[in-house]
Structure formats: C-alpha cells, structure tokens
Structure 1
C-alpha cells in the first residue's frame, strides 16, 4: 500500500481542482478550492478535516467532498447564514463574503463533515448522455432490433433515460419525450443517423453505492455535488431525478465485474446488448478494469448477427490512445465504441468531463 499523502500533495490537489473547475465554467468552485488550499496551509478547519487522509486525494476527489458537504449544508438549510451568501440566494456573491461563514460552519460541525467525507462524490452528470448519443444512434441504425442496456457505475441511474431526453445544439437537435433537455457547444459534424429510433427493450444498471432518488435525503445529497453557481446543471439534475422517479429507474448494488459476468451469462438469445458507462473506468482497481474488459471481449467473441454485442463508453482519453499521447489534453474524454461480431472500433468524439463542448477526435 502506498504511503499516505503529504500535506503538500493534498494542497496541490486542491489547487489543481481549482484550475479544473475554472476550466469547466465555475468561478465559485475555482475560488472555493483555492481558498480551501490556503486554509490547509494556514492550519484552519480544512486542515483539520484532511489531516491523516490515508489515500490519493485526487483519486478520492477530496476537495469535491468538502465542497459537497458545504453545498449539502446549504441545500438542507442547516447552515442558514452560509445559504444566504451562496449563489442561489445572492447573485452578487463573493468568496470574501462566503469563506468566513464556511470556515465557521466547518469549525462548528467537524463530526458531521467527517461522516459526509466518507463517501465519494457522485454527480451522475446527465449531460454525458449527449456524448454517448452518437454511439447509440450508430448502433440503432446498424441493428434495427431490440436493444438491451447494461450500465456500469450508474450512480443514481439517471442516464438510463438517455433515449427520453431532448438534445439541442446550435447545429442539430433531437426531440425527446421528457422535460430533460441536454445542451452543449457542438463543434463538429452533427451525429450520423439522427433519424434512427433505438428500440430499448430492457435497462439494467449497477453501482457499488447506488443513490435512490426516490428518497428525498439521498436525492439531495446527489444534488449537493452539482456546483452551486451553475443553475442550468442544477435545474437539469432536478428534471432528470423527477424523470427517474417517474420511470422507476433501478440501480443494483453490486461490484461491476460480478454483476456484468452474471448479466452477460443471462443475456437474451436475440437482440443487441450494449454495455455502457461514462467517467467510470478510473475508479475500479486495475485488476477489476482488466476483468471487465476481458469478459466483454470474451462475450464479443461469441456474438452473432442475431445476438450482437457493443461496448460504448465516455472515458478519459488515456484509456484508449495507447502509449503515444501526442495531441491528447489531460482533460480530454473520448467516446469509444466497439461492436461485435467483428470487433470494429470507433472513436466518435472528444470533450471535457462535463461535456460543455464537443469536438472531433
């Protein structure tokens, strides 16, 4: 087991996250992560919370856990003074006004904060569906047959409803059957096969720690990880959670490798099975990732025209680019599709983790 991180490594993570948040359009989170880094160096309440953190702070998204705790305290109304200063209530917010209140809240509630920090952030970013959509449309056009969906690392399962969302960009649109609308800055050619209509016959999903959005408390926790100065994302997750409750979305609590093995063994004798996931592969250990890929390849080797298999994902580009990373930004994410029989591969597009813009690979 690697040694625990040093304070310097933890501070570096907070400062790096500040840059990421700024690049993803959140001045609030950029400034919050920066002042939390300063607080660690000054020995403040954040320093007390992260002291002795045992594992990689970047992998654990430690800064986002604390930011989520603060937002959760605001959304529940527990931190009334802080809530009054947050962007939802004060459009002229400043971090100079917010941070002293946040410091006081963290100092007053260390036990509650530590309990909250035990669980990793789960944003279930609904906009990632638009990054997966070109792959689903390609599959629907190629295989006009019932489609059986298997989602890994599904969190609350909001993206199981991707075919019910509406999609709108400056260059193309696709109407849906729900009030969830996905928008992004689309900088490449429109997806092929916009006329295709996927025939979703079954949906299943798993997560080690699924969130049940029918429970108001857990739904509020999910929302707390959405950044407070991004009202469009907050409104979208509200709409997506309402749709999930309406359609009865269910996510199995299970290890991804065990779950996928059982699902592949029991998949229907006819129809297209699609294994899909988004921003998931960096979380399982390397041996679990390898097991997932190996069993997918093995199932693909047995695929037939009447029983095809596809693997569709939106993941960090490093997973799919090989040793030569020339031209690949560390923050690039790639939509990747592999189809059997045949094992044909496609790299469909690239984006950032929140899919704020989409470009060609």
Structure 2
C-alpha cells in the first residue's frame, strides 16, 4: 500500500505514536504502531476506530482518536476488570499489553467503545509550572491580590496552582511542605519568585467537568496519563488529593457564557482569566466570541481594578506552547515562556511589565 493509500485514521495512529515517543512514552509509541498495523490487517482495532474511519487527518487529531484508544486500554487496566490487561500494564511490557488488549478488544468491545465515545478529558497538572511565571509576573506588576478564573478547567487541578511547590531552575516558589511538587527542564532566567501572592477568589468552568468525588471519573482522568510516565500519575494523584481536601469544584458551563457572566474587573484586586491547551479545540466562531469578550473585559480595567489574560497555547500546528500574558489597562501582550505540551520543559523568555 502506498502512502497515499493509507487511510487518515491509520496515519493518525502512526503520527500519535511518534508524538508519544518524542514526549517520552516509548510504550505508547510501540502500542500505537501495533494498532496501526492491526487496523491495516483488519484486526479488532479497525472495529473500535470505526467512528473515525472516514475522518480526515486534521479531524482525527482534533478528536484525539488515537488517545481515546490507548486511554480505553489503560482505563481497563486500572479498573481491574480484566486481570490479564492489568498485569501486563503493571509490568509495562508492550508485548504482553498488546497480547492482552487484543483479546480484550474482541471480548470487551462494547466496554472499550463506550469509553472512546467520550472525548478525552485530561488535566495535566505540570502545566502549572509553565503558568506560575505568569501569576508571579501579574502579582509583581500590580501589587494586588489575585482573583483567578480558569476556563476549560477539566477537574480543576490547575485551579490550586498556588498550593503547589515549584522548582524553576535555581529559583523556587511555594510551600516547601506542599504535597504536589514540580520541577522541569527549565531554561533561561526565572520569574519574580519573591512576589507577594495572595489568591482571594478562585472558580472554574468546563463544558464537561470531571467530578473528582466519583471514583469512575477519577479513573478516567488517570487513564489518560501515559502508563509508563509514572511520575505524572503520582503527581496527578497528589493533586487530586489536594483538590478534594480544599473542596475544589468546576462548574459545568460554556466558556464564553461563563466568562461573560462571571468575569469582570473588581477594585482592589487583579482579575485573572486563564486557560491551557484549550483554544485550538474551540470552533472558530467560539474563538472569535471569546476574544471579543476578553477585549471587552479588558477595556473596563483600571489601575485599581486590572485584568489579566494568561494562557498556555500552541501558536499553531505544533506541540510547543507559548505562555502569553496580556495585562490591562493598556492591553500589553508579552510571550513569557515556551513549554512542551506536558510542561516537561520550560524556556523562560522573561518579561518587563513595569
């Protein structure tokens, strides 16, 4: 079969295999390569991927169809409902996993397909180490307490960013006794780690939030952590514990509607609207509506009631994220840092907001 004849659903599996390897998951790279070969051979992967069999490559990536597949396998392993799959994943043995999931795809197709019908719901906690520089810059530039509003927050784990401990090269910030501790391959200087930070209000929304009180939903969140990245899984578990202890809740709402109803500058504090790896998944009309709303909110900011828009988003067609801050009054935009999608590396570019 020539490259032109390879279906886009298979191309998506192979492309995601390469992305997984580049982001440190050799296990999922191997499994997705096997899945692509299985689809071409008419194996059980083809039946599970049937809802996306005629979707163009861009649509495959937008729907994250390959991640749904490996997430479904991992969720089955975490559930304990299939001992062979659980044992293979515990050993992180690609060959054993493939043998076990091949049987499971035939015997438990309905269970796996049901999982895959729901769009991936992730909450990468380490993105907070990319965003923390923005929060520190905002606090330093304004000298005001923060009101924090996160959109597309999933389970709201990054809503607790100020409850975590960070190591940013030579600089550190946060409670040394924090349960969630983060470091990364940090390059460049550091944000103002001596800035006084007080969060006086926090809330969040998501179109389909994860309820951390529900063990099935917690398991679903864990399933999307790549199985061979055990440090990420441990960090997620610790962040879930922090969120539950602090009563973190995420409202079920559309980002534009929620921001319009909830977010506005308030005297005596800086209002911060923030998000990470979300913009690209919105329809163009929603992007335009949210951008217009943010500009409208910014126009209402004053020196005593400033407004900040902080985001970690790819500039387009890449896994490299720009951490960008726009601060009103004035609406000055600054790219503070660049980071990988999982924030395993951060390159601080610096800021001059004074």
- The TM-score range, normalised by the shorter chain, is over 0.9
Equivalent positions of 1:133-282 (< 5 A) are 133-176=132-175, 178-191=178-191, 193-264=192-263, 268-282=266-280
Contact kept? 2:324, 2:334, Cα under 8 Å: yes
Contact kept? 2:211, 2:217, Cα under 8 Å: yes
Contact kept? 1:144, 1:199, Cα under 8 Å: no
Post-superposition shift, 1:358?
1.2
For 2:26, the equivalent position in structure 1 comes to 27
Contact kept? 1:126, 1:237, Cα under 8 Å: yes
Post-superposition shift, 1:178?
2.5
Structure 1 residue ranges without an equivalent (≥5): 1-5, 319-328
For 1:337, the equivalent position in structure 2 comes to 325
For 1:39, the equivalent position in structure 2 comes to 38
User: Using the alignment, how far apart are the partners of 2:263 and 2:94 within structure 1?
Assistant: 50
In the alignment, structure 1 residue 65 sits paired with structure 2 residue 68: yes
Q: Say what the alpha-carbon RMSD is for the aligned residues.
A: 1.6
User: Using the alignment, how far apart are the partners of 1:169 and 1:305 within structure 2?
Assistant: 30
User: Using the alignment, how far apart are the partners of 1:52 and 1:295 within structure 2?
Assistant: 35
Post-superposition shift, 1:222?
0.4
Structure 2 residue ranges without an equivalent (≥5): 350-354
Q: Deviations over 1:88-147 (max 9, x none)?
A: x32xx4322221211100111111111111111122000000111111001101122221
Alignment counterpart, residue 351 of structure 1, candidates 325, 339, 351: 339
- TM-score between the two structures when normalised by the length of structure 2: 0.92
User: Using the alignment, how far apart are the partners of 2:6 and 2:248 within structure 1?
Assistant: 41
Q: The residue matched to 2:301 in structure 1 has which SS?
A: coil
Alignment counterpart, residue 81 of structure 1, candidates 81, 84, 95: 84
- TM-score between the two structures when normalised by the length of structure 1: 0.91
Q: Is the deviation greater in 162-171 or in 210-219? A: 162-171
User: Using the alignment, how far apart are the partners of 1:117 and 1:98 within structure 2?
Assistant: 18
User: Using the alignment, how far apart are the partners of 1:44 and 1:20 within structure 2?
Assistant: 23
Higher helix share: 2
Contact kept? 1:147, 1:201, Cα under 8 Å: yes
User: Using the alignment, how far apart are the partners of 2:121 and 2:49 within structure 1?
Assistant: 20
Q: The residue matched to 1:305 in structure 2 has which SS?
A: coil
Moved over 4 A (4+): none
Q: The residue matched to 2:154 in structure 1 has which SS?
A: coil
Contact kept? 2:186, 2:348, Cα under 8 Å: no
User: Using the alignment, how far apart are the partners of 2:320 and 2:306 within structure 1?
Assistant: 29
Post-superposition shift, 1:169?
4.4
